């Protein structure tokens, strides 16, 4: 969900003290090349001392990347070392969030380095010239390299976002895990009328969920309020007070806002037609058709791109080294990385997701800073959904939302 990302290019081109307070909104599954672009173009809004654990993980990741590039320079596309593919996409489930901080990164680095085959560890930790081959079999190398690469991404993400720590602390009020727990376990105020009927092993997670929906209303001392509600057997009342606002926050991750609705979309019968400025290079016409029209289908319904010249219509723009993005929900400019071949899965998934923003669909993932853990936390609300995860696709939920807005 590289998404609109608050105009990622604008946000990261030269972040300064002037735009502190407008935290960036990064795709949770960016690849390492995208993180390198972010780090190259991010200027800290204030002076912070580099964290040794983070810098170590970054150094290891950079050396690994240069080594793989050197190895691949002598290989064919079929035998090149690849750390990402459609099959390796796993998503970040809401009930198994990703958590990262310097202490977590340091611990993970130590674990990974202890597991590395000695021949690989010697090369990774050395400052000598890198070899153009790999001293172990590719399969084993890739297993270890993927783990090191993911740790690099955590370090890069931390370094990119830490200057917005206060803004990400504020974002904790939109943590919807409490709402998810209650709805997925079919817990309503009816089940909470008498706490004596609640199994003892359910009390602790229920208190956490209720505290989270309390925080969704920007309340203070939520844990104390939940404890008091249990003491006075008024849990159902607390639930009824806070649950409606939590539902609004959850729904906002999936609903096309009025400001994101396009006025040039035509819905007729089982076809939704969207105008698009014809790319100057012919292969990009097929690129758009093959990916977007292939993705946005549901039963007998389909989306059709109508190519032409439109002053206010969507257009495709390629720039070297950018993080792909759209200039707002319902925006007209999809910016893609010209360094990434359009034949790669990453590019094909990205254009499908970014087009979702063109027709108003928001990202459905969340990230915040948890003060109690002293760590960033992020997750995707539905890893099967195209707008939440790179492991997701078009689904009935997206179809119904498009139908509600455009039919």
**Higher pLDDT residue, 128 or 40?**
128
Q: What is the DSSP letter of 189?
A: T
CA distance 286 to 137: 38
Q: Residue 310 above 50 pLDDT?
A: yes
Closest-CA residue to 291 (of 301, 303, 274, 279): 303
Instruction: Say if CB 155 and CB 105 are below 8 A apart.
Output: yes
Number of CB atoms found within 10 A of residue 331's CB: 19
Q: What percent of the chain has pLDDT over 90?
A: 80
Q: What is the pLDDT of residue 321?
A: 80
371: pLDDT confidence band, cut at 50, 70 and 90?
very high
**Higher pLDDT residue, 5 or 30?**
30
For the CA atoms of the chain, what is the radius of gyration? 23
Instruction: Say if CB 42 and CB 67 are below 8 A apart.
Output: no
CA distance 148 to 276: 41
CA distance 19 to 354: 25
Average pLDDT, the chain: 91
Report residue 362: phi and psi, to 5°.
-85, 165
CA distance 11 to 1: 16
Q: What is the dihedral of CA 150, 153, 155, 159, to 10 degrees?
A: -170
CB burial class (10 A; 0-12, 13-18, 19+) of residue 23? buried
Instruction: Say if CB 101 and CB 374 are below 8 A apart.
Output: yes
Average pLDDT over residues 55-84: 93
Instruction: Say if CB 79 and CB 141 are below 8 A apart.
Output: no
How far are the Cα atoms of 100, 114, 142 from residue 374, in angstroms, in the given order? 9, 26, 31
176: pLDDT confidence band, cut at 50, 70 and 90?
very high
Tell whether the torsion through CA atoms of 129, 131, 136 and 140 is positive or negative.
positive
Partners of 267 in beta bridges: 272
What region does 5 belong to: left with phi over 0, alpha with psi -120 to 50, or beta?
left
Beta-carbon contacts of 251 under 8 Å, excluding residues fewer than 6 positions away, are: none
Q: What percent of the chain has pLDDT over 70?
A: 92
Q: What is the pLDDT of residue 5?
A: 41
Instruction: Say if CB 64 and CB 156 are below 8 A apart.
Output: no
CA distance 391 to 180: 20
Q: What is the pLDDT of residue 11?
A: 36
Instruction: Say if CB 291 and CB 351 are below 8 A apart.
Output: yes
Q: What is the DSSP letter of 298?
A: E
Residue at token pair 């376990």: 185
Element (H or E) spanning 285, and its range?
A: helix 283-288
Q: Residue 351 above 70 pLDDT?
A: yes
Q: What is the pLDDT of residue 44?
A: 55
Q: What is the pLDDT of residue 329?
A: 96
pTM: 0.89
């Amino acid at each position: 969900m590289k998404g609109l990302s608050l105009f990622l290019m604008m946000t990261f081109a030269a972040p300064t003290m002037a735009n502190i307070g407008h935290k960036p909104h990064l795709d949770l599954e960016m690849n390492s090349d995208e993180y390198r672009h972010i780090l190259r173009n991010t200027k800290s809004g204030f002076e912070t001392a580099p964290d040794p654990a983070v810098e170590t993980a970054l150094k290891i990741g950079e050396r690994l990347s240069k080594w793989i590039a050197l190895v691949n320079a002598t290989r064919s596309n079929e035998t090149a070392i690849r750390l990402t593919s459609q099959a390796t996409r796993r998503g970040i489930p809401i009930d198994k969030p990703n958590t990262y901080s310097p202490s977590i990164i340091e611990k993970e680095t130590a674990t990974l380095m202890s597991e590395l085959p000695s021949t690989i560890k010697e090369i990774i930790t050395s400052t000598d010239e890198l070899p153009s081959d790999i001293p172990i079999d590719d399969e084993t190398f890739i297993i270890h390299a993927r783990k090191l690469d993911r740790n690099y991404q955590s370090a890069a993400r931390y370094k990119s976002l830490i200057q917005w720590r206060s803004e990400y602390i504020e974002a904790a009020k939109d943590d919807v895990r409490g709402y998810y727990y209650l709805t997925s376990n079919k817990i309503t105020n009816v089940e909470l009328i008498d706490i004596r009927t609640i199994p003892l092993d359910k009390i602790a997670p229920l208190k956490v969920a209720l505290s989270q929906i309390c925080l969704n209303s920007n309340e203070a001392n939520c844990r104390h309020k939940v404890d008091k509600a249990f003491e006075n057997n008024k849990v159902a009342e607390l639930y009824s007070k806070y649950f409606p606002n939590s539902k609004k926050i959850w729904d906002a991750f999936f609903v096309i806002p009025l400001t994101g609705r396009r006025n040039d979309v035509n819905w007729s019968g089982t076809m939704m037609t969207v105008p698009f400025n014809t790319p100057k290079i012919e292969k990009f016409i097929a690129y758009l058709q093959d990916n977007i029209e292939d993705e946005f289908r549901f039963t007998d319904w389909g989306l059709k791109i109508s190519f032409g010249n439109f002053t206010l219509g969507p257009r495709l723009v390629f720039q070297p080294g950018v993080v792909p993005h759209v200039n707002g929900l319902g925006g007209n400019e999809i910016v893609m990385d010209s360094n990434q071949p359009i034949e790669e899965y990453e590019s094909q998934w990205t254009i499908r997701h970014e087009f979702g923003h063109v027709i108003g669909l928001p990202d459905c993932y969340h990230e915040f800073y948890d003060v109690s853990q002293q760590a960033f936390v992020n997750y995707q609300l539905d890893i099967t959904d195209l707008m939440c995860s790179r492991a997701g696709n078009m689904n009935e939920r997206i179809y119904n939302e498009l139908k509600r807005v455009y039919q």
